[in-house]
Chains A and B, each alone.
Chain A
Amino acid sequence: MIRLEKRPQPSRAFSLATPLLAVLATMVFGGLMFAVLGKDPVTSIITIFWQPLFGEFAFYYRPQLLIKGAPLVLIAIGLSLGFKAGIWNIGAEGQYIMGALFGAGVGLAFYPMESFIVFPMMVLAGAFGGWLWAMIPALLKVKFGTNEILVSLMLVYVAEQFLASMSLGLMKNPEGFGFPGSRNLQQYNSAFNADLIEGSGMHWGVVAALIAVIFAYVLLTKHRLGFAIRVTGEAPRAARFSGVNPTRLVLFCLGASGLLAGLAGLFEVAGPAGQVTIDFNVGYGFTAIIVAFLGRLHPIGILLAGGLMALTYIGGDIAQSQLGLPAAAIQVFQGMLLFFLLAFDLLTNYRLRPGRTEVA
């Protein structure tokens, strides 16, 4: 039998190694799953992890990496602040949708006026939309003690219905021949979130994600508020004792994560997606939860994890078209990653020792 023994303090080495171990284990078990599905595991793994970066068509896929990675990183950075403090916003998907709707709404309202002011207004509106949607669980939590997990999640379904309603109704393209979906913002110069360098995939969302990473890093390591977030997560009573105001912290963490998710939605709808459609959201808000944990709730870690997760999306697409690997297999693959991460995390705080187990 193996016995668990608590380390006197968390192991720094394992805290860095667990994400890598989790990725390796996921490759092994994911490979097994691919084999069960009748695909060659080695080819599948290479297709997913190598092709997008160094394969024949890497010039096409590399920009995609930024496009997929940016919203994931942006959302995950916001989520990580709350998760660190034990405040669980799992409705980022909804905030992402609302950000997109608010932002696109402002853009469409200005159409067809061309002005440099349109895009900044859209950015503000997008951030506001996400923030507003996250403020609902935040206010309910601080006023009534309502569980933010359930409320933020319920609001995802509500936002999805809003999205459907908007793309079928208010925001429907009047020149769209009756098809659902809004005007394409890519064809509206003042509103288009274009690549900053043509074909690089580097749009404003990528810039925002990088700024968010730096901002979060400084906040968590150097600022009083970041310290308050960390203490609250580690020991809520100690945080109160030290003078942290839990109400303000809830409002800040949920507000910040909503704001960033809203921004991600706006940059997506004004850029790569281009229009408000019923199936505009593709689950970035949920995948970002995996990204946040995989990055160990650390800004730099999240940056790397966002890149890795974007890789599995793009590699998954390639594997889907080249090997016929089902899209759901990639979803399982990503889920596995989170499982292994949580399991290996044990090693950060505990040592495994051979020996008898005590009565447990």
Chain B
Amino acid sequence: MNEKPLLELSGLTKAYPGVVANDDVSLRIAPGEVHALLGENGAGKSTLVKMIYGLVKPDAGRMQMHGTGFAPAEPRAARAAGVGMVFQHFSLFDALTVAENIALGMEDAPKLRTLSQRIREVSDTYGLPLSPDRVVGDLSAGERQRVEIIRCLLQEPKLLIMDEPTSVLTPQEVEILFKTLRKLSAEGTAILYISHKLEEIRALCDSATILRLGKVVGHCTPSETSARDMAEMMVGTVLKTPTRAGKTPGDVVLSLTGLSAKSPSAFGMPLREISVEVRAGEVLGIGGVAGNGQDELLAALSGETLSAPGMIAFRGRDVSVLGPTPRRAMGILTAPEERLGHAAAPDMSLTENAMLTGAARENLDRGGLLDWSAARSFAERIISTFDVRTPGPGNAARSLSGGNLQKFVIGREVLQRPDLLVVNQPTWGVDASAAAAIRQALLDLAENGAAIIAISQDLDELMEISDRFAALNEGRLSPPRPAQGLTVDEIGMMMGGAHGMEVAHV
């Protein structure tokens, strides 16, 4: 570390009401270094990189680039200084083309024709096939990420920030991405790599800074540190992994026969010919890259979208044309991925949100008249059983942190004693201890004879809790296989290998 640093942060502090997002954070990145920023959700990683990218102004502390002061007032200024950022969410425009999207992220974008040419050149050089004329809404998650990466590379950045880049990729696509990043690093581009996936960091990064609750709690050299040690630095306590007992699955609870459905949203993925059976006491894990039909599958199972007769049978009864309420009454419960706005109404109280799905099974709806005091005690039961941190059931859903709201949403369904529970991304954006509690609750439910379908993009999670594993790819579900003994390569192939690698070479 004798090399003169490219970027040096010293004493950066940023507080929001009620929370100090970054507290006296310092770190140095040398040219060509791949530096990991490691921490749990809410540890302050996003705030830190937003300050570097000019989206947020620090309250205190300073940043230096090449030894001179660096205080970007806005992303434009950061980009001009050679900082590029690949976002996890929210920075692509579905209805615009690849070239238009890229032009929007550049200061002095050339004419679209010239730009398209340069996009082709860069995509060839770095092995990131991409066709400039395609509409972004039609691309796979991996291809969308390539758009962002190429957008950054066209500006020849000196520092490339990558926010959780692999969460949307298949294992094969991760390998391709790493090759690109290593090539960039060899050319002298520094990379700030944000992740909580420890094995990736060990494989890719030269050094790591670990954040917990906004503070730097350690630095390390990932290749020389065990994943377990890094995890403990990150979480601060020793983690306990969920426990499960071996068991034999019971009767068939759910059977899907050639389930096909159009997507309700414009750029959604239709479901194609899904056939699978799930038995009592079994956890079926469904993996796959985001946008391959996960939301649509959940909607088809919850009854938000109806299917043609004969496609969905529950305990032998055809439920294809039943809406959410009758399905709930029968014991099919679901928890969608999007907590705010889908699983819960943000501005409504927890009591009202308990009523949202609990009305039928908890006997809160008596011939149309609602029993609010019973709903309140149901909400209180969820709060106490699942250790939801909130002053009380009168508080609005949006006032809860992501992890607490997720515990509430999962708890709401688990406490209604489902026969079939379908969850999508049960621990997304949830801190490690809450995630462990949620996984344990799912396993306990299966233990007691419920059938569970866990849809997730976190493969480690799926391997931990699933009995059988299947993957969604382009709206199709692979035949399920026993989870035990599956290799990463096999999983990757089930997920569809590397998407769209042939596109730009035609």
- Tell me if chains A and B make direct contact, with any CB pair below 8 A: yes
Q: Is the CB of B345 within 8 A of A235?
A: yes
| Contact A235 to B370, CB < 8 A, known contacts A224-B359, A243-B303 | no
| Contact A224 to B368, CB < 8 A, known contacts A231-B345, A235-B342, A235-B346 | yes
Distance, CA A245 to CA B357, complexed state (A): 14
Q: Is the CB of A359 within 8 A of B345?
A: no
Q: Which residues of B contact A240 (CB under 8 A)?
A: 304, 324
Q: Is the CB of B323 within 8 A of A10?
A: no
A287, chain B: closest CB distance, angstroms: 28
Q: Which residues of B contact A224 (CB under 8 A)?
A: 359, 365, 368-370
B142, chain A: closest CB distance, angstroms: 26
Interface size class of A (residues with CB under 8 A): 20 to 34
Q: Which A residues from 216 to 242 make CB contacts under 8 A with B?
A: 222-225, 227, 230-231, 234-235, 237-242
A237's nearest neighbour on chain B, judged by CB, is: B342
A80, chain B: closest CB distance, angstroms: 17
Distance, CA A266 to CA B352, complexed state (A): 38
Of B26-34, B186-194, B393-401, the one touching chain A: B393-401
Of B37-45, B52-60, B275-283, B478-486, the one touching chain A: B52-60
Q: Which residues of B contact A178 (CB under 8 A)?
A: none
Q: Which residues of B contact A143 (CB under 8 A)?
A: none
Q: Which residues of A contact B370 (CB under 8 A)?
A: 222-224, 227
Q: Is B475 an interface residue (CB 8 A)?
A: no
Distance, CA A222 to CA B369, complexed state (A): 6
| Contact A10 to B347, CB < 8 A, known contacts A223-B368, A225-B368, A359-B54 | yes
Q: Is the CB of A243 within 8 A of B324?
A: yes
Q: Is A354 an interface residue (CB 8 A)?
A: no
Q: Is the CB of B359 within 8 A of A234?
A: no
Q: Is the CB of B323 within 8 A of A238?
A: no
Q: Is A358 an interface residue (CB 8 A)?
A: yes
Q: Is B356 an interface residue (CB 8 A)?
A: yes
Distance, CA A8 to CA B347, complexed state (A): 9
Distance, CA A227 to CA B371, complexed state (A): 12
Q: Is B328 an interface residue (CB 8 A)?
A: yes
Q: Is A9 an interface residue (CB 8 A)?
A: yes
Q: Is B343 an interface residue (CB 8 A)?
A: yes
Q: Which residues of B contact A5 (CB under 8 A)?
A: 17
| Contact A359 to B55, CB < 8 A, known contacts A231-B348, A243-B325 | yes
B54's nearest neighbour on chain A, judged by CB, is: A359
CB < 8 Å: which of B74, B303, B334, B345 contacts A238?
B345
Distance, CA A237 to CA B336, complexed state (A): 10
Distance, CA A356 to CA B90, complexed state (A): 24
Q: Is the CB of A9 within 8 A of B368?
A: no
Distance, CA A234 to CA B347, complexed state (A): 7
Q: Which residues of B contact A241 (CB under 8 A)?
A: 302, 304, 324, 334, 336, 342-343, 356-357
Q: Which residues of B contact A235 (CB under 8 A)?
A: 340-342, 344-348
Distance, CA A8 to CA B73, complexed state (A): 28
Q: Is B355 an interface residue (CB 8 A)?
A: yes
A-contact 0/1 string along B299-335, CB 8 Å cutoff: 0001110000000000000000001110010000010
Distance, CA A258 to CA B369, complexed state (A): 25
- Among A9, A224, A238, A358: residue with most chain B CB under 10 A: A238
Q: Is the CB of B356 within 8 A of A238?
A: yes
Distance, CA A237 to CA B265, complexed state (A): 12
Distance, CA A170 to CA B17, complexed state (A): 68
Q: Which residues of B contact A238 (CB under 8 A)?
A: 341-345, 356
Q: Is the CB of B57 within 8 A of A242?
A: no
B359's nearest neighbour on chain A, judged by CB, is: A224
Distance, CA A358 to CA B73, complexed state (A): 9
Distance, CA A10 to CA B328, complexed state (A): 30
A238's nearest neighbour on chain B, judged by CB, is: B345
Q: Is the CB of B396 within 8 A of A10?
A: yes
B471, chain A: closest CB distance, angstroms: 25
Q: Is B338 an interface residue (CB 8 A)?
A: yes
CB < 8 Å: which of B57, B325, B399 contacts A356?
B57
B56's nearest neighbour on chain A, judged by CB, is: A358
A243, chain B: closest CB distance, angstroms: 4
Distance, CA A5 to CA B15, complexed state (A): 13
Q: Is the CB of B55 within 8 A of A234?
A: no
Q: Which residues of A contact B304 (CB under 8 A)?
A: 240-241
A223's nearest neighbour on chain B, judged by CB, is: B368
B339, chain A: closest CB distance, angstroms: 10
B337, chain A: closest CB distance, angstroms: 11
Q: Which residues of A contact B54 (CB under 8 A)?
A: 359
Q: Is the CB of A227 within 8 A of B355?
A: yes
Q: Which B residues from 415 to 466 make CB contacts under 8 A with A?
A: none
A236's nearest neighbour on chain B, judged by CB, is: B341
Distance, CA A238 to CA B334, complexed state (A): 12
Q: Is the CB of B368 within 8 A of A359?
A: no
Q: Is the CB of A9 within 8 A of B356?
A: no
Distance, CA A360 to CA B334, complexed state (A): 37
Q: Is the CB of B368 within 8 A of A234?
A: no
Distance, CA A239 to CA B357, complexed state (A): 10
Distance, CA A223 to CA B336, complexed state (A): 26
Distance, CA A222 to CA B345, complexed state (A): 18
Distance, CA A223 to CA B369, complexed state (A): 5
| Contact A242 to B324, CB < 8 A, known contacts A223-B368, A224-B365 | yes
Distance, CA A156 to CA B408, complexed state (A): 47
Q: Which residues of A contact B323 (CB under 8 A)?
A: 243, 245
B301, chain A: closest CB distance, angstroms: 12
Distance, CA A222 to CA B355, complexed state (A): 12
Q: Is the CB of A231 within 8 A of B365?
A: no
A219's nearest neighbour on chain B, judged by CB, is: B368
Q: Is the CB of B396 within 8 A of A9?
A: yes
A235's nearest neighbour on chain B, judged by CB, is: B345
CB < 8 Å: which of B302, B328, B348 contacts A234?
B348
Q: Is the CB of A358 within 8 A of B57?
A: yes
Q: Which A residues from 306 to 354 make CB contacts under 8 A with B?
A: none
Q: Which residues of B contact A243 (CB under 8 A)?
A: 303, 323-325, 328
Distance, CA A336 to CA B17, complexed state (A): 34
Q: Which residues of A contact B395 (CB under 8 A)?
A: 8-9
A271, chain B: closest CB distance, angstroms: 34
Q: Which residues of B contact A239 (CB under 8 A)?
A: 345
A15, chain B: closest CB distance, angstroms: 11
Q: Which residues of A contact B324 (CB under 8 A)?
A: 240-243
Distance, CA A227 to CA B355, complexed state (A): 9
Q: Which residues of A contact B369 (CB under 8 A)?
A: 222-224
Q: Is the CB of B356 within 8 A of A231?
A: yes
20 other A-B residue contacts (CB within 8 Å) besides A241-B356, A359-B74: A8-B395, A9-B395, A9-B396, A222-B369, A222-B370, A223-B369, A224-B370, A225-B368, A231-B356, A234-B347, A235-B341, A235-B342, A235-B344, A235-B348, A237-B341, A241-B334, A241-B343, A358-B55, A359-B54, A359-B75
| Chain B residues within CB distance 8 Å of chain A | 17, 54-57, 73-75, 302-304, 323-325, 328, 334, 336, 338, 340-348, 352, 355-357, 359, 365, 368-370, 395-396, 398-399
Q: List 17 A-B contacts (CB under 8 A).
A: A5-B17, A224-B365, A227-B352, A227-B370, A230-B348, A238-B341, A238-B342, A238-B343, A241-B304, A241-B334, A241-B336, A243-B323, A243-B324, A358-B55, A358-B56, A358-B57, A359-B75
Nearest 3 Cβ contacts at the A-B interface: A9-B396, A8-B399, A243-B325
